[in-house]
Structure 1
Amino acid sequence: MIPRRAAMPVVALILVAGVVGTQLANGGGTYEPLKSADPCVERTVTSQADGIDGLTERLVLIGIDKAACSLGVTREALTLELAQPGTRTDSEIDALREGLLSAVDDMKADGTLPRASELVDEALDSADLNGLLKTAIRALPGPVVDAALKTDEVLDRAIRDLDLRTLLGNLDNQNQLEQQVGVAVTTAVKDSLSARLRNLI
């Protein structure tokens, strides 16, 4: 009978051999690094967030893919390049802006762009308006808001007004790219919505 202390290494060896055997049987005997996804191939982009934050998160992810496609680089290479210190080129700025604008068009075409009335409460929560005006705007029927405000037009205007050169110049690392662009777009959308909603009253 094998003593208990001596049996432990034998059991461990059997378990390791089982794991290695399974890996080899499933093609784990060769190592190939994962290839970067082709940014020109449309992919499904989802967001964990709701409302304007979720909208802008998807917008930025799709926009960066489109920018990378137009520049002929991978998404990873573009985000790494944009996060480097130094001045951004006109082609990088133009590609990112056009990518974001194109993302708006895609979201409108596939029906994933929310109506303006769905974003009103969130926009008003952070708007610098008096309470009476906010109450009056919230009382507007959804169809009235949607007839006066088109989400794609609000987003287009917000994106065109973004100072992308300054924004990208303040990045410390590549992980901040999506976050910082997302925050900037979110703020611009809220400002644009609240300004245009004010004109409805």
Structure 2
Amino acid sequence: MTGLSRLVGLPALAIVLVSAVLGVQVAYGGGSFEPLEPADPCAARTVTSRADGIDGLTERLVLLGIDGAACRLGVSREALTLELAQPGTRTDAEIEALHDGLLDAVRRMEGDGTLPPASDLVDDALDNADLNPLLEAAIRALPDPVVDAALKTDDILTRAIDDLDLPTLLANLDDQETLDQQVEAAVTQAVEESLAARLEGLL
């Protein structure tokens, strides 16, 4: 085969190869393209976390809470996240939906058994609390059954959520990427402070 005939044959070979690839895709259902629908925020889903302790708990809480808020508002999670990340003041409906969505998340985790006992959160809370060393040592010495009998995780989370200044928090968001991070950080701090204060009350 001459050089000229090779050059002439290359486009034809390319057409044959492309046709073969397209044929395989069509055979396996690739002939019809449908854009992915956003996930239904009202549908139950399993949410896991790469973190442990309070960090992991609040990460799951916020993800489920935003789902619950989106469900209440009748929008997708993606649409709500994008809206909340915009600069400016949030509406009363958005603030109320997020607050109630977070409370829904607490009830949901309690119902499916994914809420850890309060004793699992003690070390994290005390590590970030500014307590007298003697008081801190006394709290750490409390047996887990004593802590769990006196403190319930769902109650601690509910108090922390009710204490959140959501209007200020949502008004100070920078962008969509930091929404979960900033809300998680605020919830984590509120949980730690609530738990530490209630642990002091046990002594």
TM-score when scaled to structure 1?
0.90
CA deviation profile, 1:136-159 (whole Å, cap 9, x unmatched): 111101010011111111100000
Residue 162 of structure 2: aligned partner? 160
Give the drift of 1:10.
9.8
Residue 179 of structure 2: aligned partner? 177
**% identity of equivalent residues:** 69
Q: Secondary structure at the residue paired with 2:33?
A: coil
Q: Which residue, 72, 81, 97 being the options, matches 1:70?
A: 72
The 2-side partners of 1:184 and 1:139 are apart by 28
Judged with a 3 Å threshold, the aligned counterparts in structure 2 of structure 1 residues 16 and 86 are, in CA distance, closer, same or farther, namely same
The one-letter code sitting in structure 1 at the alignment partner of 2:167 is: R
Q: Which residue, 142, 147, 150 being the options, matches 1:148?
A: 150
The one-letter code sitting in structure 2 at the alignment partner of 1:39 is: P
Q: Tell me which stretches of 4 or more aligned residues in structure 1 moved more than 4 Å.
A: 8-19
Residue 124 of structure 2: aligned partner? 122
The 1-side partners of 2:68 and 2:164 are apart by 18
The one-letter code sitting in structure 2 at the alignment partner of 1:199 is: G
The 2-side partners of 1:137 and 1:78 are apart by 41
Residue 24 of structure 1: aligned partner? 26
TM-score when scaled to structure 2?
0.89
The 1-side partners of 2:2 and 2:32 are apart by 37
Residue 49 of structure 1: aligned partner? 51
Residue 82 of structure 1: aligned partner? 84
Residue 190 of structure 2: aligned partner? 188
Total equivalences in the alignment: 200
Judged with a 3 Å threshold, the aligned counterparts in structure 2 of structure 1 residues 46 and 11 are, in CA distance, closer, same or farther, namely farther
Unaligned runs of 5+ in 1: none
Residue 134 of structure 1: aligned partner? 136
The 1-side partners of 2:160 and 2:21 are apart by 53
Give the drift of 1:12.
8.3
The 2-side partners of 1:9 and 1:125 are apart by 68
The one-letter code sitting in structure 1 at the alignment partner of 2:82 is: L
CA RMSD across the alignment: 2.3
Give the drift of 1:50.
1.0
The one-letter code sitting in structure 2 at the alignment partner of 1:26 is: Y
The one-letter code sitting in structure 1 at the alignment partner of 2:173 is: L
CA deviation profile, 1:106-141 (whole Å, cap 9, x unmatched): 111111100000110111111101222221111101
Q: Which residue, 97, 102, 105 being the options, matches 1:103?
A: 105
Q: Secondary structure at the residue paired with 1:187?
A: helix
Residue 36 of structure 2: aligned partner? 34
Judged with a 3 Å threshold, the aligned counterparts in structure 2 of structure 1 residues 13 and 161 are, in CA distance, closer, same or farther, namely same
Q: Secondary structure at the residue paired with 1:200?
A: coil
Q: Which moved more, 1:14-23 or 1:144-153?
A: 14-23
